[in-house]
Chains A and B, each alone.
Chain A
Amino acid sequence: MSVAAAVERTGGFIERLSDVLFRRPRMLTLLLLLPPLIWIGVVYVGSLFALLLQSFYKLDDFSGLVVHELTLSTYAELIEEAHLQVILRTIVMSTMVTLACAIIAFPIAYYAARYARGWMKAAFYLAVMTPLWSSYLVKIYAWKLILAKEGIITWMAESLYLSWLLEAILALPVVGGPSLSFSYIGTFLVFVYIWIPYMILPIQAALERVPGNLIEASADLGADPGQTFRTVLLPLALPGIVAGSIFTFSLTLGDYIVPQIVGNSRLMIGQAVYTLQGTAGNIPLAAAFTVVPMAIMGLYLFMAKRMGAFDVL
């Protein structure tokens, strides 16, 4: 009797709704998923497709208006000499930055994975996480201070009587310039600096899974440290390096702030997109330019997935 009364009392709307949702978990999942899915799946992905569509339009040279007809002429414009150079330059820069990040990140990740214990481990993690999350512009600004002609690098070179070396580096063709903050070397350094944490974390995640006795076994079987590194450690760390390179490569491909603040006047893809859509008003060509990093990253992600890089993310 009292049980029946209790059941009777819990018959309000909230309870009934709760019961319906509990009995139909699929409906609950759908209800939960629908709002975020509409935002990301419809609004965001929709805008991406709208952008893609724009790249098949073209800009009328006389009126300066966008002609809404499907054409490939914008892509024909994209593979002109000057534009190809922008693309090539950006890809070379992204590759160099990725390689440098991997080389600098590996010892940090290896130390953190194999030797750091207790508070050291936490300290290493924080030491990587804080630069990763701290302000992007502040980090670039710090390098503007470092690389300036009157800045700390010039001062150090003078104090160490190495000014001739700095001048020799700046006199190099292509990568040099009037000062480090107006050269490819400067752009490269800033990119390496701001993306390095993205490389450390996945390499560390991959190395954490390598059993220590594997390294010992390799040494016991007569491999010297170099051989152990090449034949045991590196292949096992490779998925982590590939995962990290997704970030360093993709972020460099699309960045337009770094080369604008530290660099010479030769454009990278991001800057080309920014000026084309802004002052030039040539949205179709800007859209075609963004297809390049999208296509490269699509291919890259496909290959990374086959190498198992996603398991360490």
Chain B
Amino acid sequence: MSSDANRKAPLGLSAAAIAGLLFLHLPLLLIFLYAFTTEDKSFQFPPPAYTTKWFSIAWSERPDIWPPLYLSLKVAAVATLLALVFGTLAAAALSRARFFGRETVSLLFVLPIALPGIITGISLRSAFDIMGLDFSVWTIILGHATFCIVVVYNNAVARFRRLSGSLVEASMDLGANGFQTLYYVILPQIGTALLAGGMLAFALSFDEVIVTTFTAGQQSTLPIWMLSELIRPRQRPVTNVVAVFVFLVTFLPILAAYYLTREGEHTGGASK
């Protein structure tokens, strides 16, 4: 739709689009506002008065926040690493080859995201039961990595398709072996896509709650901690402080991923 660059949008359309965007963004502002309220027993609006004490209370007087935070960071880091390895392998294989059943295989890799999380959760849980695996950090990681692979795969496969075959051939012609080509030519080309995929995977894992409730047993990640605070609130503004923190931890990687993949649109040699 590029032929009408100078057209003005009809007023009704602009109004509907702006209203839609406001609907998407205004609710999140309330999370920030309520982190400063003095009222901790209800969600009274407007807040009776404002205070910053909940930030220091969350920091120093709520030791129950820290173990879930550490667990979430650990799980997200390991799951992202695993997803980077497996997702890149899958993307490299499926973007370079044409073979029978390729469509089916690429559909398989999207399945963990396409199916509702509850199905992934309960089937992994029953598989752990059958295999006799006890719940541990590793069962959480296994669940998270399963859907994080998809995110890395999606990012990497788009970049691999743009990666020019002539660059690889030129590298080989100039005497580099396959591994040197991988290290000096392919990796720098796909690097930003992997970084972006890894950041999105990290954000996704750090935030995941549905699959986690099935694979965590008695362990508590930060989203599970938040869920229990939502169901049985204690100091409500403290939950807001944590929510603000979670929002930032997931928001910043997403922003970074956006800029990384945008700049990477001009892959070297792609015009050939």
Contact = CB atoms under 8 A, between A and B. Distances in A.
Contacts of B13: 107, 110-111, 115
Residue of B13, B179, B203, B255 with most chain A CB atoms under a 10 A cut-off: B13
Contacts of A253: 116
Interface string A42-81: 0111111011001000000000000000000000000000
Interface string B12-27: 0110110011011101
A25 to B, nearest CB: 7
Nearest to A247: B114
Contacts of A145: 30-31, 34, 43, 45
Given A29-B99, A145-B43, A18 B179 contact: yes
Nearest to A196: B24
A104 B207 CA distance: 26
B27 A211 contact: no
Contacts of A223: none
A173 interface: no
A207 B86 CA distance: 34
B1 A207 contact: yes
Main secondary structure of the interface of B (DSSP, over half): helix
B200 interface: yes
B251 interface: yes
Interface in A114-155: 114-115, 117, 122, 124-131, 133-146, 148, 150-152, 154-155
Contact of B87 (A18, A36, A143, A286): A36
A33 B94 contact: yes
Residue of B89, B146, B226 with most chain A CB atoms under a 10 A cut-off: B89
B117 interface: yes
Band of interface residues on A: 35 or more
A253 B43 CA distance: 29
A134 B124 contact: no
Contacts of A32: 89-90, 92-93
A62 B101 CA distance: 47
B119 interface: yes
B94 to A, nearest CB: 7
A197 B226 CA distance: 23
A18 B182 CA distance: 11
A97 to B, nearest CB: 14
Interface residues of B, number: 91
Contacts of B146: 39-40, 43-44
B149 interface: yes
Contacts of B130: 50
B1 A114 contact: yes
Interface in B120-139: 120, 122-127, 130
B30 A146 contact: yes
B111 A40 contact: yes
A190 B44 CA distance: 19
A218 interface: no
Nearest to A274: B118
A141 B254 contact: no
B1 A113 contact: yes
Interface string B91-114: 011101101000001001101101
Interface string A244-277: 0010001101111100110000000010011001
Contacts of B204: 133
Contacts of B226: 137-138, 141
Interface in B26-61: 27-28, 30-31, 34, 42-46
B72 to A, nearest CB: 11
Contact of B3 (A17, A146, A211, A294): A211
Residue of A110, A112, A208 with most chain B CB atoms under a 10 A cut-off: A110
B185 interface: no
Contact of B20 (A107, A212, A286): A107
Residue of A14, A197, A207 with most chain B CB atoms under a 10 A cut-off: A14
A203 B127 CA distance: 37
Contacts of B170: none
Contact of A143 (B27, B114, B115, B262): B27
A139 B246 CA distance: 11
A114 B209 CA distance: 37
Interface in A154-181: 154-155
A222 interface: no
29 contacts: A14-B179, A26-B99, A32-B89, A33-B93, A36-B109, A47-B124, A48-B119, A104-B23, A110-B13, A111-B14, A114-B1, A114-B7, A127-B21, A130-B254, A131-B25, A137-B246, A138-B28, A141-B239, A141-B243, A142-B31, A144-B230, A145-B34, A151-B45, A155-B46, A207-B1, A250-B115, A254-B115, A254-B118, A274-B118
Given A108-B20, A111-B16, 13 more contacts: A18-B177, A33-B90, A36-B89, A40-B112, A45-B111, A48-B115, A122-B262, A139-B27, A146-B30, A150-B44, A196-B23, A255-B118, A256-B118
